[in-house]
Chains A and B, each alone.
Chain A
Amino acid sequence: MQSETFTRRTALPVAETFEEAAAASEAALRKPRSLWRDAARRFARNRLALVGTFIVAVLLTMAIFADDWFIALPLGRTPQPLIARTPYNKGFFGPTGAFPSREYWMGTDLNGRDLYSRIVFGARISLSIGLLASFLALAVGVPLGAIAGWWGGRADFLVMRLVDIMSAIPTLLFAYMIMARLGAGFWNVMLAIGLTSWINVCRLTRAQFLSLREKEFIEAERMIGASAWRIFRLHLLPNALAPIIIALTFGIPVAIFAEASLSFLGVGINPPMPSWGQMLGRDGITNMTYFWHLAFFPALMIALTMLGFTLMGDGLRDALDPRMIDAR
């Protein structure tokens, strides 16, 4: 099966040089640490990963505190902008198409809305769709992959044929058709992206479970008569968790990219709700010969978001992969 070469990387650490062996035995003499604490330590030492985490943290702050919905919603009043300067749909905040200045930090769009505020609210849309769609992909892909990998036989055959068919589908065309069927909107975008992106997670989980099934410690558990649920809970899930977390981290930027693409094409998020892809595709490219800021800032935000999540994912992968110990 393809891509297994890159996914089956959770083998035990093998000391390849004398130094490595020495370091490993020294590590064994120190007080025992869990895989997760080791991973956290490695992650914290990785500068690029910290940069990525910082970008993601800033974006999350923008997304959550764009306005004070968490106070306003329970009180039943309209949310007031916090980080953003105006509500995202407030028109004629300034002159139409103003260039960036001290008054309008990123300029205003052609409806006179503050571009900075729309960019901040765009973070909320992008991040929530990225997270929700990735979790949806996980919710579909992990159980299917687990069933296929663990039971094998007919279940495996059926799931893998489904994966074959799904991977032969042109993703953009299908996502676009689903959007045309359901209509534009936040939840529909999330659904369209989630339903077209679970294949990788499914393949990965299957590969993990396939290789785990044959491991000695699983066989030992079976021998002492452990129930399937116990094996699943104590052994399969913890062992398959690291690659799944990595897949999730890499899935988020892919989903954000997909949302931006669909909105760019006009079937994702409808105005006045802002989305970076939509801002780029509607006003951005048609007016960029003159109003360059309408294209520049959304493009920058998409790139920064993708960069943040990718760096974080790289760091997580390196931290959670025991074979990467002492590689750097």
Chain B
Amino acid sequence: MARYILMRLAGLIPVLLILSMITFALMHEVPGGPWKYGQRLFSDEQLAALKARYGLDKPVWQQYLIWLSGVVRFDFGMSFKHPDESVLGLIGRTWPTTMHLGAMALLVAFGAGLPLGIIAALKQNTWVDYGVTLLSTLGFVMPHFVWGILFILVFALALKWVPTGGWESPRQWILPVVAYSLAPMATIARYTRASVVEVMRSDYIRTARAKGLSESWIVRRHVLKNAMIPLLTVFGPIVPDLITGSIFIEAIFRVPGLGKFWVTSTLDRDYPMIIGLTMLWAILIAVTYLVTDVLYVVVDPRIRLK
């Protein structure tokens, strides 16, 4: 097992290298630069001095090697947009807020999605099932920025129950968390329902029934355990997705988090930040898939890692 995990982590290195090269090339292909975009704040000499200071006057492949040699020492460079902060410092400062929001959204999504999906499957083709299906289809099809806007229109502006935005008090957390959790909740409910329905139709459940086991025992011991296994692949990617934030939720509800940088870093041509975020995402995704694969072995003794 340890050997397998180490092999997978080692296999990540070439992927990260190629990915960083692609990102590096693409971001330098984008016209404009960090200091002449939009406003003309600097004279030509100042601009040249700035470029020289950050190494932007060198050819792109040299810049890449310089960046790479920094990364080896765990130094991802300084942000261009926030010149007194390093990329790691900036991510470290803004990520906790986003993670807080994401963790609460995850909790709501799983806490509501799993039971809804299971109940819908057990009460298949009743009004409970149709209600859950309708709810999850709605959550599935509405982009979270649409939910966010509708929530503000209804709960903040019309009913005045909660503030329109901000991130200081728990009252301000409610709308963004709910708006952010609806889509993953719907996904979880949908796939849970499908998986439980499928397991309920399998031979060993019929055998369990034939043995005269009680329905609640069958559901708890046989159905749920087996239904969860294929769901791991669906649930895994939800986690990195939610904890890295969304620019839409953060912009609509004025949450000071990491999410906005996924777009503003490109807007500002903040090269170190762009590539830092790309690496962060790639590592998160790879770790998620690795954890999912390891969890497979843990929950299902029939599966062996190669």
> Is the pair B146, A177 in contact by a Cβ cutoff of 8 Å?
no
Distance to closest chain A CB from B279 (angstroms)? 9
> Is the pair A173, B263 in contact by a Cβ cutoff of 8 Å?
yes
Interface string of B262-291 (1 = CB under 8 A from A): 110111000000100110011001100100
Q: Cβ of A327: which chain B residues have Cβ within 8 Å of it?
A: 197
Verify if A164 is at the interface (C-beta below 8 Å from B).
yes
Interface string of A284-328 (1 = CB under 8 A from B): 110011001001100100110011001100100000000000011
> Is the pair A172, B263 in contact by a Cβ cutoff of 8 Å?
yes
A278 to B234, CA, bound (A): 31
Verify if B48 is at the interface (C-beta below 8 Å from A).
no
Verify if A35 is at the interface (C-beta below 8 Å from B).
no
B interface residues, how many (CB within 8 angstroms): 55
| Interface magnitude class on chain A | 35 or more
* Chain B residues near A (Cβ < 8 Å): 15-16, 18-19, 22-23, 26-27, 29-32, 125, 137-138, 140-143, 145-146, 149-150, 152-153, 157, 164, 191, 194, 197, 201, 203, 230, 233-234, 236, 244, 247-248, 251-252, 262-263, 265-267, 274, 277-278, 281-282, 285-286, 289, 292
> Is the pair A280, B149 in contact by a Cβ cutoff of 8 Å?
yes
Q: Is the interface of A mostly helix, strand, loop or mixed?
A: helix
A131 to B22, CA, bound (A): 28
A157 to B210, CA, bound (A): 47
A327 to B194, CA, bound (A): 12
29 contacts between A and B (CB under 8 A): A5-B230, A6-B194, A6-B230, A165-B18, A165-B19, A165-B22, A168-B15, A168-B282, A168-B285, A172-B262, A173-B262, A173-B278, A177-B27, A177-B274, A180-B32, A181-B31, A264-B248, A285-B251, A285-B252, A303-B141, A303-B142, A303-B146, A306-B141, A306-B142, A307-B138, A310-B140, A310-B141, A314-B137, A328-B125
Known A-B contacts A288-B153, A289-B157, A292-B153; the reply to A302 vs B266 at CB < 8 A is no
Chain A residue with Cβ nearest B285: A168
Distance to closest chain A CB from B86 (angstroms)? 20
Interface string of A195-238 (1 = CB under 8 A from B): 00000000000000000000000000000000000000000000
Chain A residue with Cβ nearest B262: A173
Contact of B247 among A167, A265, A289 (CB under 8 A): A265
A165 to B16, CA, bound (A): 8
Verify if A32 is at the interface (C-beta below 8 Å from B).
no
Q: Cβ of A153: which chain B residues have Cβ within 8 Å of it?
A: none
Distance to closest chain B CB from A126 (angstroms)? 12
Verify if A16 is at the interface (C-beta below 8 Å from B).
yes
Chain B residue with Cβ nearest A9: B198
Known A-B contacts A165-B19, A176-B263, A257-B143; the reply to A295 vs B201 at CB < 8 A is no
Chain A residue with Cβ nearest B148: A285
Contact of B278 among A170, A261, A292, A328 (CB under 8 A): A170
A303 to B16, CA, bound (A): 36
